[in-house]
Amino acid sequence: MRKYLLHALIISFVFLLTPTTQAASDVEATIDEDKQAAGENSDDATVYFDRGIDYLKSGMYKEAIEEFKQAIKIDPDYAMAHKTLGYVYLNLYMYEEAIEVYKRAIFINTGYIEAYNNLGKAYGELGMYKEAIEVLKVAIERDPEHAMSYYNLGILYNSSNDKDSALKQHEILNGLDFDLADKLFGLIRK
């Protein structure tokens, strides 16, 4: 369990601390070192997860997907690998795939608020507003301080022409994250 918590911290900071992508040759060198250290056919899911992160940081999404899938094959209950694979799918506009892996991540770990939030985004992108709203309400119920869930819920209400509900989300969001509240209000006013 401790190794998974460490990886949760790593992934949280990966996207915050890397303003530019690594050169492909740097990533390949890092991955070659990882393969030599762990053995080519390692049965340690974290080895594949770490490689997936390296590929993700470099913008090599196809390779990242394959590494996360391998980590999941080794450890089907590796919730962080599911969640991160969902992140890649979501950012590649592969919404159906994102929905499936986010559902699995949530099944494994009901505490992944970002997985709920991103599952709601994926549903919303497919025009499945009822499902998206339902999932985002669960995210908010589980973490009433998660500003991004209110923001995404407000966007969904606005997209489904429920301006009153969108404005309610704006009011709540105003107390949590003024910048996101302002951004949501700009969308509602359009």
Alpha-helix residue ranges (DSSP H) falling in the chain: 2-17, 24-38, 45-58, 61-74, 79-91, 95-108, 113-125, 129-142, 147-159, 163-174, 178-189
Residues 80 and 130 grouped into a single domain: no
Residues 95 and 153 grouped into a single domain: no
pTM for the model: 0.78
Write the DSSP symbol of residue 20: S
Residues 84 and 127 grouped into a single domain: no
Q: Give the domain-ending residue among 51, 85, 109.
A: 109
25 — pLDDT class (breaks 50, 70, 90)? low
Whether 14 has a pLDDT exceeding 50, the answer reads: no
Specify the higher pLDDT residue, 74 or 31.
Answer: 74
Model pLDDT for residues 166-176, shown as the tens digit of each residue:
999 999 999 99
- The number of domains in the chain is 2
Model pLDDT for residues 97-137, shown as the tens digit of each residue:
999 999 999 999 999 999 999 999 999 999 999 999 999 99
CATH code, 3: 1.25.40.10
Q: 164 φ, ψ to 5°?
A: -60, -45
In sequence order, the 6+-apart residues with CB closer than 8 A to the CB of 42 are: 48
Question: In which domain, by residue range, is 74 found?
Answer: 1-109
Residues 77 and 138 grouped into a single domain: no
34 — pLDDT class (breaks 50, 70, 90)? low
Residues 115 and 104 grouped into a single domain: no
Whether 59 has a pLDDT exceeding 60, the answer reads: yes
